[in-house]
Amino acid sequence: MHLPEGFIAIVKQDCPTCVLVDPVLHSIEGSGLSLTVYVQDEPDFPSSSRVVDDRSLETSYRLHIETVPTLIKIEGGQERARVIGWERDEWRALTGLASLGSELPAYRPGCGSLSVQPGIAEGLAIKYGDFRLQSRALAVPTLTDDIEYCFERGWSDGLPVVPPTAERVYRMLQATTRAANEELGRMPPLLTACTVEKVAINAVMAGCKPEYLPAVIAAVEAALDPAFCLHGLLATTWFSGPMVIVNGPARKAMGMNWTGNVLGQGNRANASIGRALQLTVRNVGGGKPQETDMSTFGHPGKLGFCFAEDEDTPWTTLAEDRGVPRGRSAVTVFSADGPLGCADQKARTPEALIYSLAGSLRGLNHIHMVNAADAVVVIGPEHGRVFDLAGWSKADAVAALHAATLVEGVDLGMGTAPGVTAKNDKAMRHKFRAGGLTLVRAGGPAGMFSAIIPGWLVKGELGTDPVTREIRS
Amino acid sequence: MTATLYDPTGEFAPLQRAPLAKPATLSGLTVGLLDISKARGDVFLDRLANLLGAQGLTVKRYKKPTFTRPAPVELLQQIASDCDVVIEGLAD
CA distance A428 to chain B (A): 49
Q: Is the peptide bond before A69 cis (omega within 30 degrees of 0)?
A: yes
CA distance A231 to chain B (A): 16
| A 148-177: CB under 8 A from B | 149-150, 152-155, 163-166, 169
How big is the CA angle at A99 (ends A97 and A100), to the nearest 5 degrees? 65
Instruction: Count the Cβ atoms, other than its own, within 10 Å of residue A45.
Output: 19
Task: Show Cβ contacts of residue A164 under 8 Å, excluding neighbours closer than 6 positions.
Answer: A201, A202, A204, A205, B5, B6, B8
The pLDDT value recorded for residue B1 is: 54
3-state secondary structure of A233: helix
The pLDDT value recorded for residue B92 is: 64
Contacts of B7 in chain A (CB under 8 A): 135-138, 201
Which segments of A305-344 does DSSP mark as H helices, in order? Answer: 318-321
**Main-chain phi, psi angles of A137, to 5 degrees:** -95, 130
pLDDT, one tens digit per residue, over B40-60 is 888 899 999 999 999 999 999
Instruction: Count the Cβ atoms, other than its own, within 10 Å of residue A120.
Output: 15
Q: How far apart are CA A9 and CA A29, in angstroms?
A: 11
**Residues linked to residue B63 through DSSP beta bridges, in sequence order:** B35
pLDDT, one tens digit per residue, over A321-340 is 999 999 999 999 999 999 99
Residue A132 contacts B, CB cutoff 8 Å: no
pLDDT, one tens digit per residue, over B13-38 is 777 767 888 899 999 999 999 998 88
pLDDT, one tens digit per residue, over B64-90 is 888 777 788 899 999 999 999 999 877
Residue B91 contacts A, CB cutoff 8 Å: no
Q: How far apart are CA B11 and CA A191, in angstroms?
A: 12
pLDDT band of residue A15 (cuts 50, 70, 90) is: very high
Judge whether residue A123 has pLDDT over 70.
yes
Under 8 Å between Cβ of A451 and A341: yes
Query: Which residue from B4, B8, B17 is facing A201, i.e. has the nearest CB?
Result: B8
- Dihedral sign (CA A284, A285, A290, A295): negative
Q: How far apart are CA A73 and CA A84, in angstroms?
A: 12
Q: How far apart are CA A469 and CA A440, in angstroms?
A: 17
The pLDDT value recorded for residue A73 is: 97
pLDDT band of residue A233 (cuts 50, 70, 90) is: very high
Contacts of B10 in chain A (CB under 8 A): 187, 190, 192-193, 198, 283-286
Residue B8 contacts A, CB cutoff 8 Å: yes
Give the best residue of B2, B4, B6 to mutate against chain A (max A CB count within 10 A): B6
Q: Is the Cβ pair A133, B6 closer than 8 Å?
A: yes
- The kind and range of the H/E element at B88 are strand B85-89
* Nearest alpha-carbon partner for A308 in A249, A266, A242: A249
Judge whether residue A281 has pLDDT over 60.
yes
Q: Is the Cβ pair A190, B2 closer than 8 Å?
A: no
Judge whether residue A12 has pLDDT over 70.
yes
The pLDDT value recorded for residue A119 is: 85
The total number of residues written for chain A in this structure: 473
Q: How far apart are CA A377 and CA A441, in angstroms?
A: 8
**Residues linked to residue A37 through DSSP beta bridges, in sequence order:** A9, A51
Contacts of A286 in chain B (CB under 8 A): 9-10, 12
Q: Is the Cβ pair A139, B9 closer than 8 Å?
A: no
**Residues linked to residue A36 through DSSP beta bridges, in sequence order:** A8
3-state secondary structure of A13: coil
Q: Is the Cβ pair B6, A141 closer than 8 Å?
A: no
- The kind and range of the H/E element at B63 are strand B58-63
Contacts of A198 in chain B (CB under 8 A): 8, 10
- Dihedral sign (CA A144, A148, A151, A152): negative
The predicted complex's ipTM stands at 0.80
pLDDT, one tens digit per residue, over A360-394 is 999 999 999 999 999 999 999 999 999 999 999 99
Under 8 Å between Cβ of A383 and A375: no
Task: Show Cβ contacts of residue A354 under 8 Å, excluding neighbours closer than 6 positions.
Answer: A397, A400, A401, A404
Of residues A88 and A425, the one with the higher pLDDT is A88
* Nearest alpha-carbon partner for A234 in A223, A246, A225: A223
Q: Is the Cβ pair B8, A205 closer than 8 Å?
A: yes
Q: Percent of chain A at pLDDT above 90?
A: 92
Give the best residue of B2, B4, B5 to mutate against chain A (max A CB count within 10 A): B5
pLDDT, one tens digit per residue, over A297-307 is 999 999 999 99
Q: What is the DSSP string of A189-228?
A: TTTEEEEHHHHHHHHHHHT--GGGHHHHHHHHHHHHSGGG
Judge whether residue A273 has pLDDT over 60.
yes
Q: How far apart are CA A320 and CA A328, in angstroms?
A: 9
**Cα-trace Rg, chain B:** 17
- The kind and range of the H/E element at A108 are strand A107-108
| A 209-238: CB under 8 A from B | none
Q: How far apart are CA A162 and CA A268, in angstroms?
A: 13
3-state secondary structure of A74: strand
Q: How far apart are CA A167 and CA A126, in angstroms?
A: 7
Residue B7 contacts A, CB cutoff 8 Å: yes
Under 8 Å between Cβ of A397 and A335: no
Contacts of A135 in chain B (CB under 8 A): 6-8, 11
pLDDT, one tens digit per residue, over A307-323 is 999 999 999 999 999 99
pLDDT band of residue B91 (cuts 50, 70, 90) is: low
Contacts of B6 in chain A (CB under 8 A): 133, 135-138, 164-166, 169, 201
Exposed / middle / buried, residue A427 (Cβ in 10 Å: 0-12, 13-18, 19+): middle
The pLDDT value recorded for residue B49 is: 95
* Nearest alpha-carbon partner for A322 in A237, A389, A386, A227: A227
- The kind and range of the H/E element at A269 are helix A268-283
Contacts of A169 in chain B (CB under 8 A): 6
Judge whether residue A145 has pLDDT over 60.
yes
| A15: amino acid identity, one letter | C
Residue B25 contacts A, CB cutoff 8 Å: no
Q: Is the Cβ pair A187, B10 closer than 8 Å?
A: yes
pLDDT, one tens digit per residue, over A194-221 is 999 999 999 999 999 999 999 999 999 9
Query: Which residue from B8, B13, B15 is facing A202, i.e. has the nearest CB?
Result: B8
Q: Is the peptide bond before A289 cis (omega within 30 degrees of 0)?
A: no
**Residues linked to residue A139 through DSSP beta bridges, in sequence order:** B4
